[in-house]
């Protein structure tokens, strides 16, 4: 075989052996590239110097002046660290897990909660309560629940065992009744004050609604014997003889200060069948805690999904089954619904929305099925089944039509619709509220519609449980949340679109994504069950029997399909250093490589030091409810006072981007995005601009038009604003901000300094970097071809939906990104152009050296930038000062005061970044190494 050498390959395609066909040519170059790569790794790694980042002497002088002022002030020793945090932090470094729990054991040795006079008082109150008419009426209702019929079994089992697993069909009263049974039993026995019950819920909304329900059943206001605690919001009950419903996240946080749960006498882990990463981890932690706390009772509660797994995990603990009385539920599939309603899909391809289901996959599935059932359904139904968007929730009008059909033909009873996420929920909501069809207009006023989603504000949630008044029909449009964790009694009709949102993680590319996909048999089974609670019901599955045959049995546990950075940080704050070993003890252990990838990332962003120990920064990041990379970005934005733009970016990265793309309108959406991007070459700054424009439109009462014209989702934008406020509240709680308002002027002094903001985005998304070698406009000038690689050497492209995809005239060839996606090619879903200086200032592994008599600064042993020796020294100096400042701020959280000495450092950084912005044309574009294949 012909072996091309480098210079031949670079000089042109002439070196290619003649007579190769299309595919062979591709293979030839692929082999060539592989050979080249191998020979590169064999020899010394070759350093190629990139563009020159020399800082002019005048600027260096001023930067040095600023730094001197900063240093002088530090040496004057005016700093006062936050004693509390510092102590916590020292403790963190010095104490391992065993020592940590021994210490708390000692502290709680003589803990005795019992108070006999209070016990007697509680006993009396309990008797008195039996005279209360409200209580008695509600108690009568409670007695109808299967759990109450097993009351003595439950109390006995808990009495005799440390761990009990309760399995019962959804709605049988586990969540609301079990804690009450145990509390009331203690009170009656005169030991109420020793009883503190905590019950974890997977979601905020269920913690609140259940707590409200239970205090209603007990005929007392929330905050007496029953309360809840969720992130940033709580109504705590009394200290003793109480039940607290909290989210799993809150319990994990409590373990940081009370690792053996000395403040809890009974812990209920609810909804463990969902296999969320947090309940999996809590179960593993409990196995450590239990031997140290013989008096702690643990009750695991699960719907009937693979319950044997939990029983085995806890050494075959006793299992109590509570069967509910279920009425029969008739199950219909898409083909039956089509036959029944006669609905015709609109096959014009103008208004179908994302995501488009794979057409050929659909054909392969449906054609054999159609042949099977040809005799049973009429031709029109079979034709409709062939339409790819007939399944799921692609056609909102179809779902609305089915709702009208039920209203028209079926007896009373609420309708529960399962949708994948907030956007689909709001689409159906608005279709039902503002119907275009006469049929819809006829039913509009008969419907009482409730959206149900964990992100919706928590006010007024209780009304979804009330029965609809006469003449009205309740329609609940919900995510998976109504599947097991929220029970609404009067549901008779379930519409199961079969779709849900699931995170997925690709270990090869280290990419995590949130995608809509088909549910599993287990989900469908639970959803069906929701229809038969009060009377025989009907479940309408909006997918064919053929689709059902392809569905998996049970969902994959979350820990096997997500990134582990966040969970590792939370283990580290619990003093669990050997995270590898800890993961091995979980029901399902993630792959070693996923763990090491996560640990490496945490090291690179300096949340962990080189030994894998938590840094002060890492300790803060562990407390923020978001991805640590994004967390670092908002922390820096608080210190640097450019909160609003960066929280916009962070919210969009943690939730979703507010644009939607109707099929066939891609180009118009791209235009809208480009307008918003204002030539900033950044998908992230584009989001910030969009939110600013949106606010303006709200101020002028033209927000509906604004959203419509720019393909923006109103719901998503509102949600982004809500998340921004949450971030600000958090940062304010931890004293990184003085105001909890994102728009507060003092938090936004630097918010219009685009180079600084660009650099902070770069610092946050680092080490996700990409280098563009060559960009070429395609003839039609809409798209461009980019020759680009990420720092791990993979070829990537801007995703067509990125504002950078059509651009060529970048001022810098370096980019940071948050997500890569692999389809036909590897794509950067979002990217921001950054200048080398930003990577040099905010990146890690920055080094300097000399090659061929030229000085350079390097980033992560990947990019090497030429520069003067003076630049090397000023930049390294600045970096070490920035490191000190960040450490100091982590120990003593506070925004950097204007005109303070620390602010001089920001000035110095700004100055360095500002020359970058002007360097533009001086950039030397590297000759491309690889020919376009």
Which residues make up the interface to Mg ion (CB under 5 A)?
174-175
CB of 464 to ligand CDP, least distance (A): 8
Which residue minimizes CB distance to Mg ion? 175
**Residues 660/650, Cβ–Cβ less than 8 Å:** no
**210 in contact with ligand CDP (CB under 6 A):** yes
Q: With CB cut-offs between 5 and 8 Å by kind, which of Mg ion, ligand CDP, none does residue 210 bind?
A: ligand CDP
Residues 828-887 that bind ligand CDP (CB under 6 A): none
**173 in contact with ligand CDP (CB under 6 A):** yes
Q: Is the bond preceding residue 355 a cis peptide, omega within 30 degrees?
A: yes
Closest Cα partner for 676 from 665, 662, 661, 687?
687
**For ligand CDP, which is the closer residue by CB, 171 or 532?**
171
Main-chain dihedrals φ then ψ at residue 113, nearest 5 degrees: -80, -15
Member of 4, 168, 435, 658 binding ligand CDP (CB under 6 A): 168
**For ligand CDP, which is the closer residue by CB, 275 or 799?**
275
**For Mg ion, which is the closer residue by CB, 145 or 562?**
145
Closest Cα partner for 525 from 920, 169, 74?
169
CB of 178 to ligand CDP, least distance (A): 8
Q: With CB cut-offs between 5 and 8 Å by kind, which of Mg ion, ligand CDP, none does residue 226 bind?
A: none
Member of 50, 175, 384, 697 binding ligand CDP (CB under 6 A): 175
Residue 104 has, within 13 A of its CA and on its CB side, a CA count of 21
d(CA 453, CA 479): 6
CB of 357 to ligand CDP, least distance (A): 32
**Residues 101/290, Cβ–Cβ less than 8 Å:** no
Main-chain dihedrals φ then ψ at residue 361, nearest 5 degrees: -60, -40
Main-chain dihedrals φ then ψ at residue 579, nearest 5 degrees: -70, -30
**For ligand CDP, which is the closer residue by CB, 85 or 310?**
310
**619 in contact with ligand CDP (CB under 6 A):** no
CB of 172 to ligand CDP, least distance (A): 4
d(CA 490, CA 488): 6
d(CA 747, CA 640): 8
Q: With CB cut-offs between 5 and 8 Å by kind, which of ligand CDP, Mg ion, none does residue 489 bind?
A: ligand CDP
Q: With CB cut-offs between 5 and 8 Å by kind, which of Mg ion, ligand CDP, none does residue 145 bind?
A: ligand CDP
3-class secondary structure per residue, 684-702: HHHHHHHHHHHHHHHHCCC
Q: With CB cut-offs between 5 and 8 Å by kind, which of Mg ion, ligand CDP, none does residue 172 bind?
A: ligand CDP
Q: With CB cut-offs between 5 and 8 Å by kind, which of Mg ion, ligand CDP, none does residue 705 bind?
A: none
**628 in contact with ligand CDP (CB under 6 A):** no
Member of 465, 518, 711, 864 binding ligand CDP (CB under 6 A): 465
Q: What token pair was written down for 500?
A: 């849900």
CB of 664 to ligand CDP, least distance (A): 43
**For ligand CDP, which is the closer residue by CB, 226 or 890?**
226
The contact pattern for ligand CDP, residues 407-446, with x = CB under 6 A and - = no contact, is: ----------------------------------------
- Cα four-point dihedral sign 383, 387, 388, 390: negative
**308 in contact with ligand CDP (CB under 6 A):** no
Member of 32, 145, 417, 886 binding ligand CDP (CB under 6 A): 145
**For Mg ion, which is the closer residue by CB, 175 or 832?**
175
Closest Cα partner for 818 from 774, 764, 854?
764
Number of residues located near ligand CDP, criterion CB under 6 A: 16
CB-based burial, 585-608: b 16+ in 10 Å, e otherwise: ebbebbeeebbebbbebbbbbbbb
CB of 466 to Mg ion, least distance (A): 19
**171 in contact with ligand CDP (CB under 6 A):** yes
CB of 225 to ligand CDP, least distance (A): 17
Member of 176, 225, 423, 682 binding ligand CDP (CB under 6 A): 176
How far is residue 328 CA from its own chain's centroid? 37
Q: Which residues contact 503 (CB under 8 A, 6 or more apart)?
A: 512, 513, 514, 515, 558, 561, 562
**For Mg ion, which is the closer residue by CB, 141 or 188?**
141
How far is residue 75 CA from its own chain's centroid? 42
**For ligand CDP, which is the closer residue by CB, 210 or 685?**
210
**Residues 474/490, Cβ–Cβ less than 8 Å:** yes
Member of 79, 149, 213, 695 binding ligand CDP (CB under 6 A): 213
Q: With CB cut-offs between 5 and 8 Å by kind, which of ligand CDP, Mg ion, none does residue 566 bind?
A: none
**489 in contact with ligand CDP (CB under 6 A):** yes
Burial (Cβ within 10 Å: 0-12, 13-18, ≥19) of residue 321: middle
- Kind of pairing, strands 49-52 and 297-302? unpaired
- Cα four-point dihedral sign 624, 629, 633, 635: positive
Q: Would you mind telling me the total number of residues written for the chain in this entry?
A: 933
CA torsion 816-819-822-828 (nearest 10°) is -30
Q: How far apart are the first and last CA of the chain?
A: 19
Give the position of tokens 């209780």: 462
**For Mg ion, which is the closer residue by CB, 104 or 461?**
461
**487 in contact with ligand CDP (CB under 6 A):** yes
CB of 559 to ligand CDP, least distance (A): 24
Query: In DSSP terms, which residues pair with 170 in a beta bridge?
Result: none
**174 in contact with ligand CDP (CB under 6 A):** yes
**For ligand CDP, which is the closer residue by CB, 210 or 636?**
210
CB atoms within 10 A of CB 810: 17
Member of 172, 181, 635, 803 binding ligand CDP (CB under 6 A): 172
d(CA 340, CA 542): 13
Query: Which range, of 208-216, 339-347, 420-428, 668-676, touches ligand CDP by CB under 6 A?
Result: 208-216
Query: Which range, of 124-132, 173-181, 742-750, 832-840, touches ligand CDP by CB under 6 A?
Result: 173-181
Residues 909-928 that bind ligand CDP (CB under 6 A): none
**For ligand CDP, which is the closer residue by CB, 206 or 797?**
206
**For Mg ion, which is the closer residue by CB, 174 or 499?**
174
Q: What token pair was written down for 96?
A: 């391992």
Q: With CB cut-offs between 5 and 8 Å by kind, which of Mg ion, ligand CDP, none does residue 710 bind?
A: none
CB of 168 to ligand CDP, least distance (A): 5
**Residues 750/759, Cβ–Cβ less than 8 Å:** no
Query: Which range, of 209-217, 647-655, 729-737, 900-908, touches ligand CDP by CB under 6 A?
Result: 209-217
**For ligand CDP, which is the closer residue by CB, 206 or 637?**
206
Q: What token pair was written down for 816?
A: 């940071």
CB of 461 to ligand CDP, least distance (A): 8
Question: CA–CA distance from 119 to each of 90, 178, 237, 333, 569 (Å)?
Answer: 41, 21, 17, 56, 41
Query: Which range, of 89-97, 175-183, 774-782, 879-887, touches ligand CDP by CB under 6 A?
Result: 175-183
**170 in contact with ligand CDP (CB under 6 A):** yes
Query: Which range, of 128-136, 163-171, 352-360, 580-588, touches ligand CDP by CB under 6 A?
Result: 163-171
d(CA 385, CA 362): 10
DSSP letters for 752-765: T-HHHHHHHHHHHH
Q: Which residues contact 846 (CB under 8 A, 6 or more apart)?
A: 840, 857, 858, 859, 860, 875, 876, 879
Q: Which positions touch ligand CDP (CB under 6 A)?
A: 145, 168, 170-177, 209-210, 213, 465, 487, 489
């Amino acid at each position: 075989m012909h072996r091309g050498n480098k210079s031949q390959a670079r000089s042109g395609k002439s070196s290619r052996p003649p007579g190769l066909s299309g595919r062979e040519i591709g293979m030839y170059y692929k082999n060539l590239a592989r050979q080249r790569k191998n020979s590169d790794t064999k020899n010394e790694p070759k350093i190629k110097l990139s563009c020159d980042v020399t800082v002019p002497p005048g600027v260096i002088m001023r930067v040095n002046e600023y730094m001197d002022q900063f240093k002088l002030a530090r040496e004057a020793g005016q700093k006062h660290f936050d004693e509390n945090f510092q102590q916590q932090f020292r403790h963190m470094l010095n104490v391992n897990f065993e020592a940590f729990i021994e210490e708390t054991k000692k502290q709680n040795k003589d803990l005795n909660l019992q108070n006999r006079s209070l016990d007697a008082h509680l006993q009396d109150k309990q008797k008195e309560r039996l005279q209360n008419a409200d209580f008695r009426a509600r108690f009568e209702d409670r007695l109808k629940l299967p759990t109450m019929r097993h009351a003595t079994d439950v109390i006995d089992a808990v009495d005799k065992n440390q761990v009990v697993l309760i399995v019962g069909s959804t709605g049988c009263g586990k969540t609301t009744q079990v804690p009450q049974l145990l509390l009331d039993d203690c009170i009656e026995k005169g030991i109420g004050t020793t009883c503190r019950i905590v019950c974890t819920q997977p979601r905020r909304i269920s913690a609140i609604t259940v707590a409200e329900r239970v205090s209603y059943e007990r005929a007392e206001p929330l905050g007496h014997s029953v309360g809840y605690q969720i992130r940033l919001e709580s109504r705590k009950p009394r200290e003793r003889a109480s039940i607290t419903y909290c989210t799993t996240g809150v319990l994990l946080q409590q373990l940081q200060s009370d690792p053996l749960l000395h403040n809890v006498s009974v812990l209920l882990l609810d909804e463990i069948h969902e296999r969320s990463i947090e309940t999996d981890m809590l179960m593993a932690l409990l196995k450590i805690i239990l031997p140290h706390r013989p008096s702690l009772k643990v009750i695991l509660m699960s719907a009937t999904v693979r319950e044997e797994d939990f029983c085995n995990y806890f050494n075959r603990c006793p299992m109590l089954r509570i069967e509910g009385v279920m009425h029969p539920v008739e199950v219909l599939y898409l083909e039956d619904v089509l036959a029944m309603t006669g609905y015709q899909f609109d096959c014009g391809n103008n208004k179908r929305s994302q995501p488009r289901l794979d057409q050929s996959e659909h054909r392969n599935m449906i054609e054999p099925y159609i042949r099977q059932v040809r005799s049973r359904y009429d031709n029109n139904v079979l034709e409709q089944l062939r339409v790819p968007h007939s399944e799921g929730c692609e056609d909102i009008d179809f779902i609305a039509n089915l709702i009208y059909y039920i209203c028209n033909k079926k007896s009373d009873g609420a309708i529960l619709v399962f949708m994948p996420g907030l956007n689909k929920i709001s689409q159906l909501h608005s279709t039902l509220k503002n119907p275009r069809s006469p049929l819809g207009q006829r039913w509009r006023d008969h419907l009482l519609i409730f959206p149900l989603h964990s992100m919706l504000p928590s006010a007024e949630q209780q009304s979804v449980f009330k029965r609809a008044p006469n003449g009205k029909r309740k329609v609940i449009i919900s995510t998976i949340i109504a599947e097991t964790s929220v029970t609404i009694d009067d549901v008779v009709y379930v519409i199961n679109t079969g779709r849900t949102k699931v995170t997925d993680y690709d270990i090869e590319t280290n990419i995590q994504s949130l995608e809509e996909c088909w549910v599993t048999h287990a989900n469908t089974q639970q959803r069906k069950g929701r229809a038969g609670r009060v009377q025989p019901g009907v479940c309408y599955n909006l997918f064919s029997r053929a689709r059902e045959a392809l569905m998996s049995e049970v969902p994959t546990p979350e820990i096997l399909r997500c990134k582990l950075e966040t969970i590792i940080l939370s283990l580290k704050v619990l003093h669990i250093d050997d995270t590898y070993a800890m993961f091995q003890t979980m029901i399902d252990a993630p792959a070693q490589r996923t763990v090491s990838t996560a640990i490496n990332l945490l090291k690179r962003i300096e949340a962990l030091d080189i030994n894998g120990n938590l840094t002060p920064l890492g300790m803060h990041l562990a407390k923020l409810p978001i991805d640590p990379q994004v967390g670092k970005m908002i922390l820096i934005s608080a210190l640097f006072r450019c909160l609003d733009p960066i929280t916009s970016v962070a919210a969009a990265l943690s939730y979703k981007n507010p644009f939607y793309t109707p099929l066939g309108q891609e180009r118009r959406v791209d235009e809208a995005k480009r307008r918003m991007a204002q030539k900033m070459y950044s998908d992230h700054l584009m989001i910030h601009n969009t939110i600013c424009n949106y606010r303006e439109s709200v101020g002028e009462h033209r927000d509906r038009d604004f959203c419509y014209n720019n393909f923006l989702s109103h719901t998503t934008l509102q949600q982004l604003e809500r998340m921004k406020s949450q971030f600000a509240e958090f940062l304010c709680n931890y004293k990184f901000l003085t105001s909890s308002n994102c728009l507060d002027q003092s938090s936004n002094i630097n918010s219009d300094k685009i180079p600084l903001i660009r650099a902070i985005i770069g610092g946050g998304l680092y080490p996700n970097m990409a280098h563009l070698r060559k960009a070429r406009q395609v003839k039609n000038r809409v798209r461009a071809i980019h020759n680009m690689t990420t720092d791990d050497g993979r070829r990537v492209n801007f995703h067509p939906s990125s504002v950078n995809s059509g651009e060529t005239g970048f001022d810098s060839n370096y980019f940071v990104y948050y997500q890569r996606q692999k389809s036909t090619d590897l794509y950067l879903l979002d990217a921001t152009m950054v200048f080398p200086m930003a990577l040099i200032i905010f990146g890690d592994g920055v080094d300097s050296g000399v090659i061929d008599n030229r000085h350079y600064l390097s980033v992560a042993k990947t990019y090497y930038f030429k520069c003067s020796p003076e630049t090397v020294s000023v930049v390294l100096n600045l970096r070490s000062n920035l490191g000190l400042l960040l450490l100091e701020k982590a120990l003593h959280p506070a925004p950097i005061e204007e005109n303070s000495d620390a602010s001089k450092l920001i000035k110095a950084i700004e100055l360095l970044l500002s020359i970058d912005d002007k360097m533009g044309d001086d950039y030397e574009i590297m000759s491309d190494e690889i020919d376009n294949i």
